[in-house]
């Protein structure tokens, strides 16, 4: 009937589809065998011109068994159709989950990039503020040592200190705001990563459950097909034995 099924952890949708196709092929073979045995019985009925009562009962019993087998094959076909529909649905769900996972990855990459840009901007701002402080200190030192009047120097120095304090305050305010935004983005990113990991774990578990369900159905269908196969061969052997007795 075929090799053993792979485990649920390693079986892909393509593998399941291939096994489903093999099971469908088996059903076709069973139908062909039933049709062949039915034709044999018809021919034997025509050859037996005057069958006795026992022979008629055997022929009727054989035809009844064939009808039962036909009904079982029809049930098997219906189960296969249902299973195929479920398999296609699960395949679509898996593709949708993979797409959502890819979109989440892309979103996280974008947020990481924006966060890195924010941090780089903060570093540049700190460097710029330090540079301004150094330049203003040099100017202040030059003004203090200048031979200009002491009053002008003091006024210039006060203005310089005022401007310097204002720039430092603005820089600190911007830095504090950007730092707050950065921390907020980091917290949001960590939260989204955690949610993504939870969803990914849930999707993985769902896939495992679906694969186990499909494998269990595959096992049931295989056992049912084997049972039908054995019954058909028993019926064929019995029919051949009955024909030999008549000859």
Q: Retrieve residue 128's tokens.
A: 């710029």
Domain boundaries, the chain: 13-246
Say if CB 34 and CB 236 are below 8 A apart. no
**CA angle, 165 then 171 then 176, to 5°:** 125
**What top-level class would CATH report for the domain 13-246?**
mainly alpha
Say if CB 66 and CB 37 are below 8 A apart. yes
pLDDT tens sequence for the chain (247 residues): 444 444 444 455 666 667 677 767 777 777 777 777 667 667 766 665 454 555 566 666 666 766 776 777 677 777 777 777 777 777 777 677 667 767 766 777 777 777 777 777 767 766 766 665 555 555 555 454 444 455 666 676 677 767 766 776 776 777 777 778 778 877 887 787 788 778 777 877 877 777 777 777 778 777 877 877 787 777 767 766 665 665 5
What is the share, in percent, of the chain residues with pLDDT greater than 70?
55
CA distance 44 to 39: 9
Nearest to 105 by CA among 181, 199, 184: 199
pTM of the model: 0.33
> What confidence tens digit (pLDDT) does each residue in 19-29 have?
677 767 777 77
Say if CB 223 and CB 4 are below 8 A apart. no
Cβ neighbour number for residue 131 with a 10 Å cutoff: 10
């Amino acid at each position: 009937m075929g090799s053993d099924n792979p485990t649920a952890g390693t079986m892909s949708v393509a593998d399941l589809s291939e096994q489903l196709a093999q099971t469908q092929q088996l059903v076709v073979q069973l139908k062909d065998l039933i049709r062949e045995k039915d034709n044999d019985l018809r021919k034997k009925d025509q050859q037996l011109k005057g069958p006795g009562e026992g022979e008629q009962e055997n022929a009727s019993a054989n035809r009844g068994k064939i009808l039962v087998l036909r009904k079982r094959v029809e049930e098997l076909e219906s189960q296969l159709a249902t299973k195929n529909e479920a398999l296609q649905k699960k395949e679509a769900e898996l593709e949708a989950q993979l797409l959502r996972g890819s979109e989440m990855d892309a979103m996280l990459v974008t947020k990481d990039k924006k966060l890195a840009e924010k941090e780089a901007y903060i570093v540049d701002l700190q460097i710029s503020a330090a540079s301004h402080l150094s330049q203003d200190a040099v100017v202040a030192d030059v003004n203090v040592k200048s031979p200009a009047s002491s009053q002008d120097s003091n006024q210039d120095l006060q203005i310089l200190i005022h401007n310097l304090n204002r720039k430092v305050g603005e820089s600190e305010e911007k830095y504090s705001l950007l730092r707050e935004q950065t921390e907020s983005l980091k917290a949001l990113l960590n939260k989204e990563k955690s949610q993504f990991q939870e969803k990914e774990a849930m999707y993985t578990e769902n896939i495992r459950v679906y694969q186990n369900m499909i494998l269990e159905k595959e096992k049931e269908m295989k056992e049912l097909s084997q049972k039908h196969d054995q019954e058909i061969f028993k019926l064929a052997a019995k029919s051949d034995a009955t024909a030999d007795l008549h000859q």
